[in-house]
Each structure stands twice: as structure tokens, then as C-alpha cells.
């Protein structure tokens, strides 16, 4: 018959094992391990603030992240440092693009109201969400480009075959106003990018599969560059390296334009139907997002 000491030792071991398993369970439950993507990059968090996120922009000074949701048509300002949504507002019936000026902290968003032939450009205070300006644009899956140096905002009106140009002026009291004009640069312009240093506007035409290079100051076309099928928004300009990155959805490739020669310097095959592109000047890396489905609304 086992002694009282032996029974007590077994009981203590059982209690200790049970306590260890309970602590392990609580640690896994309360502090789950950081998830990683296939490439090894950690997921720091996931924000669910709407449906069908369409575009995103980051203020590099305030670190606020602006997310445009296609439906419902909301623009959300999210602070990743405190993990909170600071404000949200409605823009038309469907938000198609958003850009931010990290110097003035202004946010530019374009929306297309349902069953309406006109879109709307909204300029907001990126910190408070206050609307500073609204202006009518044409209809379509429109894109935005902002020339921070010349204080101009370009908005494509794909369905109308034109580019809206808004020249911004700020009064001594801080009131923002704009004068508007239009440019005819292609049959169905959609993707837009601007180089503030060179004063060049790049316009991707989804019908003709070309990128038009337009000089902002002389107001003339410098070049028309053939690219792969369906150059879509967003179109990104690396002013430091003098390169323009164009995602071509139906062509399923990333085309890289040399700003100095206005020629294609690289054609990079990517996964089916790319929809987004971003780059990091510090590392020289380019990131391409692929939707995987053909969007028939562009044709």
C-alpha cells in the first residue's frame, strides 16, 4: 500500500501539471501568437470598418490611414497607433479613390453617386474630418492625382472621356476654393499620376491602352506610350528614381516607364488582373495587388 508521502507527491504532480496546462491555455487564449503571411511579414491587425475597401492612403506625418470603402460609400480615418477610428464620412454612393497631402494634411476623395451622371470631389481636413470643399466631376470609376507643389487636383471622368483639373486657392482666413477646367487626354482616361518636381501628369487610357505624358506648365502632350491592356488606377510615380509604375489589368503585367526618356524600361508579368501598386524608395521594392477577377465595367 503506497505511503501517504507517495500519494501526496502524485497529487502535487497532478496539480502542477494541471496548473501548467491551464496557464498555457490562458496564454494562448488571451495572447494569441502574431499571425504571419506566407512571406513571413507579421499581421499587426485587421480593421473591419466597412465593406469592399477600394483605396487607401497614409499621411506620413500624422500616421493616419485613410480607407475608402466602395459600399457603403464611406471614408474612414484610422489611427494605427491607438487602434481607433477617428472619424468617418460618406462620399457619394461609391468611393473610388483617395489621396492625402502630408504637408497640408488634406484628404482628397472622389465618389460616384448611384444612378447619377456626375461624381463628386471632396476635400477634407485629415485630422478632424471637416469638409473643406466639394466640387462636381464627371462619372465613372474615377482616379485622383494631387500636385502638392502647384496645388492642383486631377480627377478622371472615365465615362465622359476627360480629366477634371481643380486649381486650389486658400484665402487669408483659411477658406479653400477651386477653379475648374477640363482636359481631353484619351478616350477613356482612368489611371492618374503626377510628378510635382517635373510638372508632369500621366494619364492611363483603358480604351487605347496608352499612357499620355502631359506637361503641366506648357500645357502640351510630351509623349504617348503604349502599355499592356487596361492600365488601371492607381498609377504611381517615383519622383526620386524617375519611374512611373503602371498596373495593366487585362495585360496582367506591371509596366515601368522611364520619366527621362518616356519609354518602357521593364514589363513585369504579375498574377491575374492586378488592381494596385505601391513602392518603397528605401528598399527599392515594388508591391502589386492582384484581384484575380476581370472587371467588365471598364470596357
Read off the pLDDT of residues 49-69 as tens digits, 9 standing for 90 and up.
666 777 888 898 999 988 888
pLDDT for 256: 95
Architecture per CATH, domain 53-184, reads as 7 Propeller (2.130)
Bridge pairing between strands 176-183 and 162-170: antiparallel
Domain ranges of the chain: 53-184, 191-299
Position 22 pLDDT exceeds 70: no
Q: How confident is the model at residue 163 (pLDDT cuts 50, 70, 90)?
A: very high
Render 202-229 in DSSP notation, one character per residue: EEEETTTTEEEEEETTTTEEEEEEE-SS
pLDDT for 69: 83
CA angle 224, 185, 274 (to 5 degrees): 70
Q: Give the Cα separation of 230 and 248 in Å (integer).
A: 5
Sheet holding 220-226, edge to edge: 189-195, 200-205, 210-215, 220-226
Q: How confident is the model at residue 74 (pLDDT cuts 50, 70, 90)?
A: confident
Higher pLDDT, 275 or 143: 143
Q: Which residues contact 55 (CB under 8 A, 6 or more apart)?
A: 67, 68, 95, 96, 97, 98, 234
Q: How confident is the model at residue 36 (pLDDT cuts 50, 70, 90)?
A: low
pLDDT for 53: 74
CATH superfamily for domain 191-299: YVTN repeat-like/Quinoprotein amine dehydrogenase (2.130.10.10)
Q: Which of 211, 234, 226, 242 is nearest to 288 (CA)?
A: 234
pLDDT for 109: 92
Sign of CA dihedral 135, 136, 137, 141: positive
Q: How confident is the model at residue 70 (pLDDT cuts 50, 70, 90)?
A: confident
Q: How confident is the model at residue 112 (pLDDT cuts 50, 70, 90)?
A: confident
pTM over 0.75: yes
- Average pLDDT in the chain: 83
Position 31 pLDDT exceeds 80: no
Q: Which three cell numbers, joined as nine digits, stand for 28?
A: 494562448
Query: Is 191-299 the same fold as 53-184?
Result: yes
* Residue whose C-alpha cell reads 464620412 in the numeric block: 89
Higher pLDDT, 233 or 282: 233
Higher pLDDT, 214 or 138: 214
Q: Give the per-residue SS3 of 254-273.
A: EEEEECCCCEEEEEEECCCC
Task: Provide the b/e sequence for 10-31 (b: ≥16 CB within 10 Å).
Answer: eeeeeeeeeeeeeeeeeeeeee
Higher pLDDT, 281 or 88: 88
pLDDT for 41: 62
CA angle 230, 234, 80 (to 5 degrees): 150
Amino acid at each position: 500500500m503506497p505511503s501517504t508521502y507517495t500519494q501526496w507527491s502524485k497529487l502535487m504532480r497532478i496539480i502542477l501539471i494541471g496548473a501548467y496546462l491551464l496557464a498555457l491555455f490562458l496564454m494562448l487564449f488571451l495572447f494569441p501568437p502574431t499571425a504571419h503571411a506566407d512571406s513571413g511579414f507579421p499581421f499587426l491587425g485587421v480593421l473591419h470598418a466597412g465593406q469592399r475597401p477600394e483605396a487607401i492612403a497614409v499621411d506620413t506625418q500624422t500616421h493616419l490611414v485613410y480607407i475608402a470603402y466602395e459600399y457603403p460609400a464611406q471614408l474612414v480615418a484610422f489611427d494605427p497607433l491607438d487602434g481607433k477610428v477617428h472619424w468617418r464620412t460618406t462620399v457619394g454612393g461609391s468611393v473610388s479613390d483617395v489621396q492625402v497631402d502630408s504637408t497640408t494634411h488634406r484628404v482628397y476623395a472622389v465618389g460616384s453617386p448611384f444612378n447619377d451622371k456626375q461624381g463628386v470631389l471632396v476635400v477634407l481636413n485629415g485630422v478632424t474630418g471637416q469638409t473643406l470643399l466639394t466640387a462636381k466631376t464627371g462619372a465613372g470609376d474615377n482616379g485622383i492625382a494631387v500636385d502638392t507643389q502647384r496645388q492642383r487636383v486631377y480627377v478622371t471622368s472615365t465615362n465622359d472621356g476627360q480629366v477634371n483639373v481643380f486649381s486650389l486657392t486658400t484665402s487669408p482666413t483659411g477658406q479653400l476654393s477651386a477653379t475648374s477646367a477640363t482636359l481631353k487626354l484619351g478616350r477613356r482616361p482612368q489611371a492618374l499620376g503626377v510628378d510635382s518636381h517635373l510638372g508632369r501628369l500621366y494619364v492611363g487610357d483603358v480604351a487605347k491602352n496608352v499612357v499620355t505624358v502631359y506637361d503641366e506648365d506648357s500645357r502640351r502632350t510630351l509623349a504617348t506610350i503604349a502599355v499592356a491592356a487596361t492600365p488601371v488606377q492607381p498609377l504611381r510615380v517615383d519622383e526620386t528614381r524617375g519611374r512611373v509604375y503602371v498596373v495593366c489589368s487585362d495585360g496582367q503585367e506591371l509596366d515601368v516607364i522611364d520619366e527621362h526618356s518616356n519609354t518602357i524600361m521593364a514589363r513585369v508579368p504579375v498574377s491575374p488582373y492586378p488592381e494596385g501598386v505601391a513602392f518603397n524608395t528605401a528598399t527599392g521594392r515594388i508591391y502589386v495587388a492582384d484581384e484575380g477577377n476581370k472587371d467588365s465595367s471598364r470596357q
